[in-house]
Amino acid sequence: MTYFIKTNIIIYMLLVVAVGSATAQNSTSVFTVSGICGMCKARIEKAADSIGLTRATWDASTQMLTLDHTKAFDVEAAKRRILAAGHDTDNLRANQAAYEKLPACCQYHDEKNVHKSGGRDGHTVTGVIMRENDRGELSPIVNANVHWLEDPAINSRSDESGVFRIAHDAAYKRLIIGHAGLQPDTITVSDPQEVVVVTAQDNVLAEVTVSARRRSNYIAALSPTRLEVLTAQELFKAACCDLSESFETNASVDVVSSDAVTGSKQIQMLGLSGNYTQLTVENLPGPRGLATPLGLNSISGTWIESIQIGKGIGSVVNGFENIAGQINVELKKPGTSEKLFFNAYGNNMGRTDVNLNLAHSFNERWAGSLLLHDNFMYNKRMNFSDNGFRDAPVGNLFSGVSRWKYEDGKGFILQFGVKFLSDDRTGGEIDFNPATDKLTQNRYGLAFDIERYEAFAKIGYVFPQHTQRSIGLQLSGTAYNQTSYFGIRTYDADQQNAYANLIYQDILGTVVHKYRTGLSMQYDRYDERYLAEQFGRTEVVPGAFFEYTFSPSDKFDVVAGIRGDYNNLYGWFATPRLHLRYQPIAGTTFRLSGGRGQRTANIFAENTAALASARIVRIVAANTAENAYGLKPEVAWNTGISFDQSFRLFQREASFSTEFFRNDFTNQVVVDYENPRELAIYNLDGQSYSNSLQTELRFMPLPHFETRLAYRFFDVKTTYSDKLLQKPLVARHRGFANLAYTPHSGGWHFDYTLNITGQKRLPSTAANPINYRMSDYSKAYVTMNAQVSKTIGKVRPFDLYIGGENLTNFFQQNPVLAADQPFSEFFDTSLLWGPLTGRMFYAGIRFSLD
């Protein structure tokens, strides 16, 4: 671990010194660039920007671009980028296709251009409203609403080119510009003779000179799938020390403790276990397989740039395992993240987190970053229920990422890096001492020692003359090792994984018809040793996929995909998937989705609660050495429909959404806790399904005061030994509220979250002695979290934050059955239905350098 840190820091320091000494001298370059307006100016200066550039200034009157730069800056590469953006440079003419993609008001060769024709008389203000996609390409926004704040009766709409004209009076100074699905903003018109340029990026409308208020949590309006995006600002609403804590202010995803002693957590989405949700990191496989139980703890919240939550079936491009949804985590990128970011956190329960992010751009082509996370927990006596067992294992978790990026300016991009995780923790009874009590019946204890290594690479090429055409290769490989014991039981496991995904995408004639196709390979080798039994398998799954997108307008999309894969254990299978988005009128969006998913269960890693209990694990299969534990793969069909409506409430933007998803399993590996003496695992024989309904209202009752209210209903049933029963430990009813207030000035941020959790059915304990029984249903309960943060300073600002979790102080009183007899047959840590710990307070500091 120490070698990993020292090696990376030394590499960074040497490269920074070497590159810094080579780029100390500044130069100035001047050349002609064709353009016509302020929007052209912003585009040209943005295209020129790269490593080593100090300043770029384009003058519309002289058509001259002046660049102040160091020797590391490549002037010819800047010219190529400007040509690719659609602007002529010196004697070189931009590609005609790139020029034609420019907004009508920016087409400088057109004699009828609004700028050349004067654009307005003395009593009219003219402007243009465009949408910018992830590639920086612009398209007009039609029918945007424009009116004066001083006189709303004077209003206008943008035409098919995104251009609007509105009558002006000397008393009118502020324009309100809005469009369905986009956050509006107020623009001050300081010079009515200037063309007002407004762009929409990440669903936020903003003038170049206006600071936009980007929402921290939003629905991607143009995505065919219902994609919810959590930005870094959303993650700052809570401590978010790791990924498992990054969903506390979100209504769609639940993160719950798997049991009462191991500290492992799992995602729940659409009422299903996180095993059915595909977790990816920048669209590469995230912690999966044996790493699933503790994988959420391995990704630091301070590493995260954004999180995309896609409910229901996903794209065939990302594989076949997605059943309930996909969560993709985007990490901070070299070259765009802060040069330094530091975070320190501590709470009253004895936990400390320290995070350090370093990033540096070495020259125009190379950039690198180092992300470090260290978690300490040494309070052995935390025991809210007073049952003699630690509520959280103690020890240390360290993880790090070293990543690099290379871009040649001609379309080739290479990203690669390595990740490392070390997790060493001990839990059990408060007085457990591994030196004297390990694997004995002196005192109950558990421990796990985990190491995970990963290498990854993403190689891409965008064809310069055909920017819609690209080819990419995604690669990753992991090695996972775990040694652990639970009382007098042992569980050791190893996993090696390799993944490759080759993707080619292009258009068919026009951007109305797009497609992606490619090949994939997934390799997993497992070796598990539980008690005296050994379970091993090698699973190899090559596959191919094709996905077609039909987008005749920004109101309608159809995405149809199919993939075929061959599993060496289970044979051939097909995965069809379909997504549809329709916007009949501005502000109203319908989405439909449907498709198939398949996965192989890892029964021990996914059920650590049983390993930590006295339950006997019984696999009901003819031959447990065949395939994966002798069981079939899990197969389900997911269908979903959603409705989003934007409107105005309290004279501000608001939205309402409702969604319904259903999963039908044709086969499922059933995990049966209904007999308190055992954990039975067998193939489904009967029905298994989940119905999920969610409604959500977002509005701003006051300026800068965001409010989100949500209600969820789950109907999840599975056949257990010929009986169709409600899935245990899943609440049918849930309520959610999040309030966020950020004053316009002062640097204060106030956040409050309320969660209401309804009753949950509990597995039967009727066969236990009366003092070791639980009721048939849990209690309903309410939890509250709150945080206040303050930004201090202007030149080198830093954030101080304090907060509290579970402010209602509700916790389960009896999380461990037979805690007084941990080696008896009644000992059970798996029936955790509520919070394990009570009220908790924390404080921290964040500091960054750009």
Give the chain's residues under pLDDT 50.
Answer: 1, 3, 6, 10, 12-24, 117-122, 134-135, 208-214
How many other C-beta atoms can be found within 10 angstroms of the C-beta atom of residue 269?
25
| Per-residue model confidence (pLDDT) at position 255 | 84
CB 487 within 8 A of CB 476: no
| Per-residue model confidence (pLDDT) at position 165 | 83
Q: Do the strands 217-219 and 284-285 form a parallel or antiparallel pair, or are they unpaired?
A: unpaired
| Per-residue model confidence (pLDDT) at position 6 | 46
Residue 573, exposed/middle/buried by CB under 10 A (0-12, 13-18, 19+)? middle
Short-list 643, 671, 638, CA closest to 655: 643
Task: Say which amino acid occupies 703.
Answer: P
Q: Angle at the Cα of 45 (from 40 to 48), degrees rounded to 5?
A: 125
- DSSP, res 41: H
> SS3 for 761?
strand
| pLDDT tens profile 769-807 | 999 999 999 999 999 999 999 988 877 888 999 999 999
| Per-residue model confidence (pLDDT) at position 233 | 78
Entry pTM = 0.78
> SS3 for 583?
coil
31/25 Cα distance (integer angstroms): 20
Q: Count of H helices and E strands in the chain?
A: 8, 47
| Per-residue model confidence (pLDDT) at position 828 | 94
- Strands annotated E in 271-388: 272-273, 277-281, 284-285, 304-311, 325-331, 340-347, 351-361, 366-377
| Per-residue model confidence (pLDDT) at position 471 | 93
Measured CA to CA in angstroms, residue 551 lies from 162, 512, 694 at distances of 19, 5, 28
CB 710 within 8 A of CB 251: yes
| Per-residue model confidence (pLDDT) at position 24 | 41
| Per-residue model confidence (pLDDT) at position 119 | 37
CB 499 within 8 A of CB 477: yes
Crossing angle of helices 75-84 and 38-48, rounded to 10°? 140
Which residues are CB-neighbours of 701 under 8 A, at least 6 positions away?
A: 650, 707
CB 706 within 8 A of CB 739: yes
Q: Which tokens sit at 389?
A: 């067992």
Short-list 765, 743, 762, 741, CA closest to 752: 741
Which residues are CB-neighbours of 121 under 8 A, at least 6 positions away?
A: none
Q: Angle at the Cα of 263 (from 257 to 266), degrees rounded to 5?
A: 40
Short-list 736, 735, 787, 730, CA closest to 759: 730
Of all residues in the chain, what percent carry a pLDDT higher than 70?
A: 90
817/529 Cα distance (integer angstroms): 26
| Per-residue model confidence (pLDDT) at position 209 | 36
β-partners of residue 165 are 126
DSSP string, 243-300: GGGTTTT-SS-EEEESSSSS--EEEEETTEEGGGEEEEETTEE-S-GGGHHHHGGGSB
| Per-residue model confidence (pLDDT) at position 593 | 96
Distance of CA 60 to the CA centre of its chain: 41
Structure-derived torsion over alpha carbons of residues 11, 17, 22, 24, reported in degrees to the nearest 10 = 140
| Per-residue model confidence (pLDDT) at position 154 | 83
Phi and psi of 8, rounded to 5°?
A: -65, -40
Task: Say which amino acid occupies 213.
Answer: R
